[in-house]
Structures are given as C-alpha cells and as structure tokens.
Structure 1
Amino acid sequence: MRTILRSLLSLLFAFSAIAVSGQVPSFYRSTLDWAKSSQEIAPNITNTQPTRTAVPLISYPGINSDGSNLRLAPNALSGGGGAALASAICGPDTVFYPLAKATGFEILRFSDSLAFGQYFDAPQAITVRGFSFYAYVDSSTSQTVNLTCRLYLAGADSLPTGNPLATTTVNVDSNFYGGSLALLEKYASWTGVVVNAPYVITVENNTPVSAGIITNDFSPVSLPRDGLQEWLGQIYVPGATSAWVHGYGITIGPNPFDADVLLHPHVTYDITAGFGPTQATGCTNIAATLTNMSSPIIQNRMYNFAAFQGNAANSFNWNYGDGSAIDNVINGNHAYTTAGTYTVTLTDSMFGWNVTCTDAATGTIVVSPGQAITANFSYTSAGLAATFSDMSNNSPTTWVWDFGDGNTSMMQNPSHTYTSNGTYTVCLVASNACNIDTFCQTVLVGALPASSCDTIGNITGTPTLYSATNGGFVAGHNFRHDSAKAESFALGGTFAFEEALYFFGLKRSPTPMTSKVIATVWDANGMGGSPGAVLATQDLLYSQIDTTGALTSVTFPSVIGTNGNFYVGLQLIYTPGDTIALITNAIGQTIPATAWELDSAGTNWVAYDDTSTWGIGVSHAIWVIQTVEAAFTQATAGLSATFTDQSLGATGWQWDFGDGNSSTMQSPSHTYAMPGTYTVCQIALNNTCVDTICQTVTVSGACPNPTA
C-alpha cells in the first residue's frame, strides 16, 4: 500500500452570506484532500488525450469535391431575402475545453456525498449523451466505488438547479496507472438529453471511501491560474448548509479554486450555415455587408477550437463568386468591381475537439453599375411661388426635397408656394439603388428682405474689469507691456464683416485727441491656430472711445472676407500717462479662453488660460457685425457672357441677366438671343444679410436667322 501524505492547507466556503474560516472541521479534512504522495503527485500526470493544432487562416481543405463532407443549402437570394438554411449534424464530439486550458494538473480527494461540477454553455440545442472524467480510488484500499454522475440545467447563478436530467453510476477502482489520463479516463453514459440552456455535469461520491478526481492547475501563486477566473468549476459541500459553491467561494491550499474539473461532455449538435444580405442587389465599388446567421455554437470557445484560439473567423470562408480570394471573416464584406450576377457561398467549418464538420449556404447577388450621383437643381421664383428643376446627373430614381420651411416633396421637379418673403435653405437628396447625394442652396422668394445682419461675439456672463496685481489691467495696458489683445472667432464657413464693436472699461490719457490704439483683424493661421497675418487695421483715438457703458464702433476701411476663423482686437501703444482696458466676463465663464494676448516682444501669442500668462478662462467684450458684399466680374464672347462671383460673405446668389432669364449658380454663364446692352444684377445673400450690385454687359454677334 502506498503511504498517503494528506495536506489540506485551508478550505473556505461561502453560502448565504456566511463565511467559514480558521481551522477546517475534521469533516472537511476527511472528505476533501489535496493529494501529495510520491506516486500521486499531480505534476506526474501525463496527458495522452488527442490534441489540436492551430487552425490555419485558409480555406478548410477537408471538403471533398463530391460534396461528401459538405452539406450545401440549395438556396438563392430573391426579393431581398436571406440565404436559405439547411443543417449538418456534428458529432459525437468530446468537449475537451477544461483540458485545453490546463498548464498543469491537480488531484482532489472526495467522499461522503461531496461532489464536483463543471458548467458549460448551450448557445443552441445540444444533445448530451454523457461525459468523460479522470478518477481513481484511494490507493490505501482495494475497494471500488460507484461514483454518481448527473446532468443538471444551470440556474441563473450558473450552479445546478432542479432535478437532474440524467443520472448514471460509474465504477472506479484504485489503479492510478502512473498518472496517465488516457488510462484514468472513465465514461458516464446515458440516453441523449437535449438541452437548450447552460448545463452542469457533476460527479459525486456518496461512499466513505476516498476517491481522487483530476482538475487543471489552481496552485500557481500568481495569475493566471488555469481556470482563467471563469469560475466554471463547482463543489458541492455537504452538511448542515449543503450547497453548491462556486470556485471563488472555496480556498484549497493558499489559493481559491480557480480551476476546472476535467469533466468532458459527449455532445452532438447541428450546425447551419446561413447569411442574410439586407437586399439581393448591390452596386459596383460599394461594399455590401453580408450578415452571418450561422449557428451560434460555431463562435463558442467551449465547442469550437478555432474560437478557443480567439480565431472564430477562421471557421467562416466567404467565396464571393467573382474570383477574389477566400475571405475568413465572421460577416462578409465585399465590393464588386464589375456589374453582374454572383453566387456567394459561405462555408462554415466547426473545428470540434475530436471532429470537424462543415455546412454551406449560397445566395445570389445582382450587382448594378454604381455611377456617382451629383445632386443639383435650379429654380425660378415669382412672388412667393418657386419652381424647382432637378439637374442631378447619372439618372437618380428618387428625389427628396426640403423647402426650408417645414414642407417637403418627393417629385422630381416640384413647385412650392411660401407663406412669407425671405430666404430659405432648400435641399435636394437625389439617389438611386447605388448612390445618394445632397445639394443645398439659398432660395430667395418675394421682395428682398431688409438687410439685418447678425452681431456675433463670444462673451456671456458677468461684465468684469480685471486689474493686474503688479500694475495695470489684464485686458489692457499692464506691467508686462503686452503688445496686443485679441478675441478668437471660430465661426467656420464663409464670413464677412466691416464693423466691430468694443466694450471698454477704462481709458485715461492727457492727450486724448492724439493718443490711440489700433483696432486690428488677424487671420487664424499663426502657430497652433493663433493670430497670424494682419487682415485690416483702423486707428482708434482715445477721444473716440466710450467708457460710459456704450459700445465703441470701429468701421474698417473695407469689407473683410474670411474663412470664418479670425481674431479681432487691439494693438496697444504705450505712451506715458495713457491707460486703456477692455471688459471681459468673469473668470471661468469661458472655457477654453477665447481671449489672447501678444507678449511685449511681439513674438508670442498665448491664450489667457495658458499657465504662462494669467491662467484664467475669459472672453473679451468684442463683437463683429456680419455683412455681405455683392461683386462680380464679366467676360463676353459673341452672344455669350460669363459672370464670375467676387462677393464676400455670401452663401447664396440670385442673378437677373436682364433679358428675362435668371440663375442661382454662384458663377453662371448665359447666352443672349440678341446682341445689345443688358443690365445684369447679382443679389448676394447669407442667412441674415442681402446686398445687390448691377452692371451693364454688352454682347455682340450675328443675329440668328429668322424663322417662319
């Protein structure tokens, strides 16, 4: 008889919020031991079970040309349906998932109604016919024991629930076989039970004779342990509070039971290949996504070795039918370069632990030429009525109009009557089966609106005048002799203005008729988006500055057109006795700060919230008044004239060519019917501003031949 050295370092278990710790009762010492004899030490166990090699990222080679290993689903896509589905029976297979996770092995002893369990997913219907496990009887006796093997459904807590679905007994003897798993393997079998939900298989020893069962390794001090903290292994602790306990509720030796019991279910299941494109048609050069509808078990790491490796996509081979390479992805995605009809085949390969099975589904995709659409339209207006003409290219088949007043149309060339004068943003969405495009323009109906342009600034909150600790004012003259103060405007798009408004908090000067600051506009092309080149300047005398609470207006020499990103501020001149300061809002009311300053050397711009300067989030009290300025040039050739827009700040244009014809293009061309001199007017507008300019244009050339 072999001498058994039993060493149970600790056993902690938790149930119903009760924790047991300290000295382990003798009951547990007799029923659950960690085997450590010279012949039964766990590292001596040898794994002679079948092993799987890595699944290659290639088309699975085991499909015979005669289809004997391949169940094809004879389907064709039509009317936007999905791929028709058939099934292939897969199995019987032995699920070696716990063994595959093993880096080492342990032996746990059990008796007196103690039991072990292992949880398994059931992503679909699975037939369980039994399981394999590795066990032997205590070497100190020649007795054999009957271990009770059961199948349960798993409850919401993943532990066994309800009555067992199947029960059998397996006789186990005391042969240790030198630790060979192949020789220690035992088989529990029953008539197949179909499970449609997660399940637990269990082994219990209801005798006083101690038996050993093999688990994977939970002994490493550092993570990961073989259980990978999935906590699939379970232990039934008999006694006054008999209960199944998760592995994290049991401590064996110095570590929690973060391991799997090597219980390997024998299963059979169907696999069904399938996919469902959202429609049965596609377009060239536009990728179509094919949604995988195959059996969910194929992506489950407990049953598919490829998924266990983290390569579930290797189980799916997409043949798009156009000669392109086989695609190993879960959901197909492919762009065809040539129009035509293509048969798409999805071949599923289920890489089980002992078997490999396949199934396939096919579908037909009709690919049409995909020419890009460019949406466009023109319009004419008479009073409040407007008529719109579709000018989109490449044959759209649907049109969706938004007239900018809450009304819409799906006609190709609709008419619409507005309820009031004004400008409206009209958008056309033109599309066909392959492409879509949107075009918007500003439409003017009725009389010209009065030009009432927006006043735009950043400042909100409490008007504040901040003094500098060491003299002067934060937003004006101060002890650091800042060269300039500027307010950032990040409006985007086309923007024009000519007038700026400043709110000054203080001015002092012994010579107000000659002392000045310089109102300045900069672009935003400096380093990191800081002020860059000067766009405009205007001298501002102290005598012109209001500090009684009114705003000071500055009109620059001409309209300034920008890309919507610019700075407006002051260049400061330091003359003895002069002090000037702008109002800001309170600290923290603008984050990030939009107020900037230029150092005394005139080389470095920083925002006020930069820690190298004031470190405060504020805005200057500076506003700009949006405007628009109409302007154009002309060129003639015979009876034709080309008009080139030179307007500033415009987002829409209305042209009157003086002969009863008009256009809404930015820079149109027009051919007159007769030579002569015509008055051409351009109306330039944006959301709130309108400006008009007219010029005469003279065209000449031969008159067209009269017709009867």
Structure 2
Amino acid sequence: MKTPILLFLFALLVTSASGSVLSVGNGQVNATSELASMNITLDSAPDGLMDYNLSVTIDDPSIATIKNVAFPPWAITTETSLLPSSFCWLNATTGPGTNITTETTLVTITLEGLSGGTTPVSLAVYSMRDDYSNEINPSIINGAFTVNAPVLPNADFSANMTTGVAPLTVAFTDESTGTAPLTYAWDFEDNGTVDETTKNATHTYLAAGNYTVNLTVTGPGGIDSEVRTDYITVTEAPAAPVAAFSANTTTGVAPLTVAFTDESTGAGTKTYEWDFTNDGTVDATTPDAVYTYPSAGTYTVNLTVTNAGGSNSEVKTDYITVTTAPVSPIAAFSANTTSGTAPLTVAFTDASTGTAPLTYAWDFTNDGTVDATTKNATYTYLTAGTYTVNLTVTGPGGTDSEVKSSYITVTSVTPKISAQFTAAPVSGRSPLAVRFTDQSTGTITSYEWDFNNDGMVDSRIKNPLKFFTSAGEYTVQLTVRGPDGTDQEVKNQYIDVTAKPLRPIAFFSANTLSGAAPLNVTFTDKSYNNPDSYLWKFGDGTTSTLKNPSHTYPVPGYYKVSLTASNVAGSSSMAMNIYVTSS
C-alpha cells in the first residue's frame, strides 16, 4: 500500500492546460449513518486515457467519511488507500484506446454521514496521462456533501473570575453551540444538584474551597457536558500585610539610581504605593521599583502595602543619602627623556588632577598590558622602536587616559649585515607559486631559506620560487651569512594559502509544506560547501536573493519552489513543492 502523505508531497497543482475538466458532484443524506454516492468525472480526453492518480479529501472529517470506492469496468488495474477515511488516493490504469469525448465517470465514492453540517469535498491530481504518455492537466471543480441532521451540542462556558475571597460572586456565560433549542443544567459545585437552568447564570460561593463546575446542554442533536475541575478557587480573607523593604544601596553620588526590593509579608493579592521622598506623592506601584535621585540630600522612603485584610506602611527616615559628584580625573604625565639608545631607561612622573583617591595604570608600549600601577614609574626599553605611552587614571569622579603617540624613540647600532626580503603574492589558493626577493644589505656570501619555519633549509639561491600546495599560514625565515656575521629575518604567518573551494550542494527546508491561503512560508538555507549567492524561485513568478527568505502565497495551488546556490566553484539547485489550500 502506498503512503498518501508521500503522494501529497509530490503532487503538482494543475491548471487548465488541456481544456479538460475533472469534477466531483454534490451529495447529501438526511440522517447520520446514511450513505450516498458521488461521481468523479472527466469531461474529455481526445488523445486517450492511459492512467490516472487522484485523491479526494473530506475537508471536515467530523461531518462525513469515505466508506468505499468503485472504478468503471474498463479500468484494468486499480489501487486505493485504506478505507474508511476522510482522505483517499485513487490509482487506475485503463490501457490505450480509452478515448473520452463526453463526461465520463472515473470513480464513484460512497460517503457516510457522521454529524449534521456541510463539508467541502476536494480533488487533487497527482498524475493523468494520455495514450502518448503526455500529462493531461484538467481544471478541477470541487463538490460538497451535506448531512441534514441536527448538530450535536458542544457545551462550553466562561466565567468573569475564577479566584477570589469568600463570599465570591461569579457570573457564568454560556458559549455552547449546537442546533436550537438548547436547554441548560448548571451544577456549580459538581454535587449532582442542578443549581440553575438559565442560559447564563450567577452563583455566590460562601465558603473557601476549590469548586468543580458542570454545565450540561441538551438539544435536538443530543446532550453534552463541560466539566471544569477545580475551576473556581475561593480563599478566606487574609490577615493585614506587614510592609518591609530593602535597597541595593543607600548612599552614593548624584544622580543616584536605587533599586528597592519588596520584603513585605501577608497572604493574598497585594498592592503597593512607594513614596521615595516622603512628600505624599505615590512614585511607583510595582512590588519592586527603581528610582533615581537627581540631587544631593537625605531622603525618607515610605512603602504602603494593602491586601484584602488591610494596609500597613514602613517608613525609613533619612534612609537614602545622596552626595555631590566628585571632580573627574584628568590624566597627565611627563618623562625625564624621550629618546636614546637601547636599552633605554625612562622615569615617568604623574601630573594628573582629580578628586582623590586616584589609582594608576601605566602601559609603556600601548599593547593593552598594564606595566605599572604606582603614581610615578620607571621603565626600560630593551629594543629599538617608537613607543606610544598610555596612562589611565581612575578616581571617585570616573576614569581618564592620556595617550602620547610615538612618545619614546629608541635607536640601536646599525648592523653591518641585515637580512631582509619580500614575496609576491603573499596570499591565494593552492597550489600557490610565490617568488621571494632578497633585499638584504651588507656583504652576503650565502642564503638559507626556510619556507615553513621547521628548521630545515628549503633553498640556498638568492631569489627562489616556491610552490605551496597545501592550505595554511606559513612563517618564512631567511638567514644570510657574510664576512661581517650572520643575520635573520622571520616573517610570522607571512604566506596565507587557502584551499580551492568546492561547488556548493543546494539544500533547504521550509517551516511548513501546506496550509490555507494566505500561507506564509519561511525557507531556511542548509546548503553545503559555503555558497555566497542564492536565487530562490517561489513558483508563482517571484524570486529572492536572500539566504533565508519568507514568502506569502495568497492564492491556493501547488507551487514548485527552487533554490540555486552558487560560489566561484559553480552552483547546484534543489526544489520542493508547497500546497496552498482554500481558507
């Protein structure tokens, strides 16, 4: 037996390309359990009908079900899904020479009424071929099936409140459905006693407890009950609360933001009134609150808490102390010397201002590392170079930095022999051919090139050509020798070789494959091998180049969605189908 859902995913919504019309008639019964037949017909197939693969769906399975199907005698082989069901696929082979010139029945379906009402009966075509194996794309006319029987009542209700303090009066509103006239039996405490028989009702619960409510509705279609266990919760009136609170800070500089936390006790629902300056104005009504004091002063805080049992206040006199903001620091410094030969020792003197206490962070090479934390400091520069010095000063008023760019210049004795080189190119895809050019100075008698910094000499010529066949970052070292000595230059991660990209493999998913119009579908790219461009075709003439687009289908139908994923190595495509039904 084939799986209907697999056929559904691969079905294509057809349009009137051949001029043929596939239709299903309307049917009705006058009672539940009664049967009625409906014909699925094709009006023409002038080039013959070799086979067809269809499906029929009862849109509302609560109203009817498909009991059985019957094919015409000229159908050679037939196949259907398991019945009874609200969905059935129909597969038949007729053989060549079955020409249709007038409306012809392809299959007869028998439906059984289950409950009163009308449901659409929908057709779908997966495949229909003529004698030449060409697809026949008929238009589709759907039908309807009506069960002329009273609708079974569906008991339902709501309440204006479900919790409260005794005595609690609750108004119940009927929201039941079903064929009229309906009668009602309310049991507000589920004790078997009918308390009210009106459509809507009011009941007062005098004592604390959890109450189950039962509504039974009777009509021409039958009887139904809605029972909601422990639906109404009634509590005794609580004792008066005891107000209490705390704050995350009670002192600070203006503007001072304070977070207040409620620590009150007492049962039941409570309301809150915060007065953060004790001026009689309610500043907040949430359990916890945040308040900013904009100016210096001493403030009294008042919290009043109320519940069904009464009210209580906690007043903390002079609880919050706010002071004036200190002066922000201004970082400044000087040095006893700013240039010299390595190793160069420099004494730095702080000249910063601002409200004390101040702390210091010296960075003598501006590399992000704190080298000293004293007010004044000394530092020795070991190698030649130009150095930027950064002093960061922190105090009660904030933080400030002074950065002196290229402040210290350290020189060294120029060597008689100096190893230097360049290369081109320094990056690219494998295999990468790189030409190295010697630019060393001094009298050079030998060259030793190490292209991957593994300690092995890879070349001894002056300007070698090297092929890098594997992806990676390569550190290159040149050692030169002469009568004046030896020197090296090492360039870390100098050559960057990347692997040749692979052609992408397109793949994607959708958050839904079917639904009622207008249907919004979100597509998620899951392609392999790092594509860098996308072309989506949504099957309705529109496109997108986003990686993960969303698209809305306003019209019912079958839509073929495709994704083409590309990069410099090529492209590939994938497609899937979206089925949009009528709303």
TM over 0.5: no
TM-score bin (small chain): 0.3 to 0.5
Structure scoring higher RCO (CA < 8 A, sep ≥ 6) equals 1
TM-score (ref. length: structure 1): 0.29
Comparing both structures, which one devotes a greater share of its residues to strand? Answer: 2
